[in-house]
Amino acid sequence: MMGIVQIRLAIVLVMVGIWELIAWSGWLYQEVFPSGLIVLTSVGQLVVDGAFYQHLMVTLVEILVGLLIAIVLGVSTGLLLGVSEQLYRGMDPILVALATIPKIVFFPVIMLLVGIGTESKIAMGALSAYFPIALSSAASVRSVPQVLIDVGRALKLSRWQMARTIYVPAVLPELLTGVRLGLGVCVIGVLLAEIKMSNQGLGFMAIEYYNLFDIPSLYAALLVIFLIAIAINAVIDHLLRVATAHRED
Amino acid sequence: MAWMRSSAVLTVLVIVIIGGLMQLAVSAAWVSELVIPKPLAILAALAGMLLERSTWDYFFITLSSTLAANFVAVGGGLTIGFCLHFRPTWSKATVPMFAAAFAAPMILLYPIFLVLFGRTQSTIIIMGALTGLIPVVLNTVVALDGVPRYFHAVARSYGCTRWQHMIHVIFPAAASGIFVGIRLGLIYSLVNIIGIEFLINFGGLGYLVSHMYDLFEITKMYAAILLVITVSALFYSVLNWAQRRVNQVSVG
């Protein structure tokens, strides 16, 4: 009987084995299916190249600024929808409908509005992250238990005290979940926009390798991008867990 | 006012107000018509496009890609999910791997599929199937594992065969949860398919948006985006309706 670790190891080994078999057998073009060793060598070359870090910085700044814009706009929308029942019922179906479509199709509109520079990638990231943040903000404001609000009123708390001691602690967990979801799609939005139309950033770097048919470098770049995207999500997940650990349900 | 309490009326009202403001902004030349066309012009362009056969061809390309991807995603996802349910060790080993893949930005890997399968419909279908399969697997396992133990005890006490147990107990109890996965999988497939069509300038509705931008047919580009929004919203509504129907018949 295989244990959990052995099964996971077996799956990884079988997948790597199949890849290597195809790579070394010559069944497919070796340029398209390079050996894992060649890809790993390309990863090594990539991470010691100074240009990689320039592209990385551009992408990280675009993600960060895009996310901040999305937080400001999303939370503002969420607060508005949270306090007005009619506005919520009118806007929520529109937001939900827009949230479920591929945001990248709005990229041409963004390019028309702000040009094809860094601003368009920031805007793409902001647009992608806006919807989960706005929807979770609205839901969190609407889900503050009435009993907490009544207690605050009974204690004659000022508006500021109500916000600090009742509303913010009550909405924070759900709001942070929205921010985490927003970050995930912000990363995707920025990278896809860079792939589609850019001259800098990790997405551009990857698609440039594709255009030059440098496939091992393309695989290496995508592997690194994929790992960075997963690492950003993991770091934010950890930070959110730490930030909300003190909270008792 | 009673009519103001209807969500549909409020939604239409919000759309009309936003559209009216856009029409006013462009008519008053606050915004260039080359950047944002008049909403009425967009609607007219959309109506014109819907009369063109090529628009429907693009729609059917996206539809066929989505159906093919969904067939693989749902068929494969249910099969894997059922197999994992009956192999708990394998389930414990692989479900976290599927969950990690679900959280990972799979669409970023599309250049790899472009290299392997070329700029073809196969690339689009495979990417759509891959992204749709994972939520089906995860939700199927969770739904099957979540069937209450006493359901199984009752089935055994009635002397159900394995087949009867599956058809009359497990499946109705888990149907609602399984369909959550199918619904998510279908939505993810469609989103990814349209997104990749746009990115690789190939295929159906996603390509239509990209193509109109390349031709600088801005009004038609907005109309194509409106078409994508409408198709996605309809798809989403149908799936939500189906979910409600499944919830009604599910006993879980």
DSSP A154-220: HTT--HHHHIIIIIHHHHHHHHHHHHHHHHHHHHHHHHHHHHHS-SSSHHHHHHHHHHTT-HHHHHH
Answer for the pair A133, A183: CB distance below 8 angstroms, yes or no: no
Tens of pLDDT along A129-143? 999 999 988 888 888
Tens of pLDDT along A26-72? 777 777 888 888 999 999 999 898 899 999 999 999 999 999 999 99
CATH of the domain at B130: 1.10.3720.10
pTM recorded for the entire structure: 0.85
* Tokens matching residue B153: 């005890």
Identify whether residues B124 and B26 lie together within a single domain. no
Q: Is A108 on the interface with B (CB under 8 A)?
A: yes
Q: ipTM of this complex > 0.90?
A: no
CA distance A86 to A76: 16
The residues, any chain, with a CB within 8 Å of residue A43's CB and separated by 6 or more, are A220, A223, A224
Identify whether residues B3 and B46 lie together within a single domain. no
Domain A34-244 has CATH 3.40.190.10: no
Identify whether residues B18 and B71 lie together within a single domain. no
The residues, any chain, with a CB within 8 Å of residue A78's CB and separated by 6 or more, are A133, A134, A135, A136, A137, A138, A139, A140, A141, A175, A178
Nearest C-alpha neighbor of B206 from the set B182, B189, B185, B184 = B189
The position carrying tokens 């706005």 is A134
Query: HSE-up of A193 (CA within 13 Å, CB side)?
Result: 35
Instruction: State the smallest CA–CA distance between residue A223 and chain B in angstroms.
Output: 9
Nearest C-alpha neighbor of B81 from the set B142, B162, B132, B128 = B142
Per-residue pLDDT of chain B (252 residues; tens, 9 = 90+): 555 567 778 888 888 888 899 889 888 888 888 888 999 999 999 999 999 999 999 999 999 999 999 999 999 999 999 999 888 899 988 888 888 888 777 888 888 888 888 889 999 999 999 999 999 999 999 999 888 888 888 888 888 888 888 888 888 888 888 999 999 999 989 999 999 999 998 889 999 999 999 999 999 999 999 999 999 988 888 988 998 888 887 765
CA distance A201 to A191: 8
Query: HSE-up of A70 (CA within 13 Å, CB side)?
Result: 36
Identify whether residues B24 and B49 lie together within a single domain. no
Nearest C-alpha neighbor of A107 from the set A30, A11, A197 = A197
Instruction: State the smallest CA–CA distance between residue B37 and chain A in angstroms.
Output: 11
Q: Which residues of B24-34 are buried (b: 16+ CB within 10 A; e: fewer)?
A: eebeeeebeee
Answer for the pair A74, A140: CB distance below 8 angstroms, yes or no: no
**CA-nearest residue of chain B to A208?**
B111
Interface mutation vs chain A, best among B5, B6, B7, B10, most A CBs within 10 Å: B10
The residues, any chain, with a CB within 8 Å of residue B179's CB and separated by 6 or more, are B242, B243, B246, B247, B250
Per-domain residue ranges for chain A? Answer: 1-33, 34-244
Identify whether residues B9 and B56 lie together within a single domain. no
Cα-Cα-Cα-Cα dihedral sign, residues A227, A232, A237, A239: positive
CA distance A196 to A107: 9
Identify whether residues B57 and B175 lie together within a single domain. yes
CA distance B173 to B168: 9
Residue in B93, B198, B225 closest to A109 by CB:
B225
Q: What is the DSSP letter of A33?
A: S
CA distance B95 to B88: 10
Q: What is the DSSP string of B43-112?
A: HHHHHHHHHSHHHHHHHHHHHHHHHHHHHHHHHHHHHHHHHHHT-HHHHHHHHHHHHHHHHS-GGGGHHH
Q: Is A14 on the interface with B (CB under 8 A)?
A: no
Residue in B112, B191, B222 closest to A101 by CB:
B191
> Which structural domain range is residue B111 located in?
37-249
Q: Is A141 on the interface with B (CB under 8 A)?
A: no
Instruction: State the smallest CA–CA distance between residue B53 and chain A in angstroms.
Output: 22
Number of A/B CB contacts below 8 angstroms equals 134
Identify whether residues B93 and B211 lie together within a single domain. yes
Number of domains in chain B: 2
Interface mutation vs chain B, best among A105, A180, A188, A195, most B CBs within 10 Å: A105
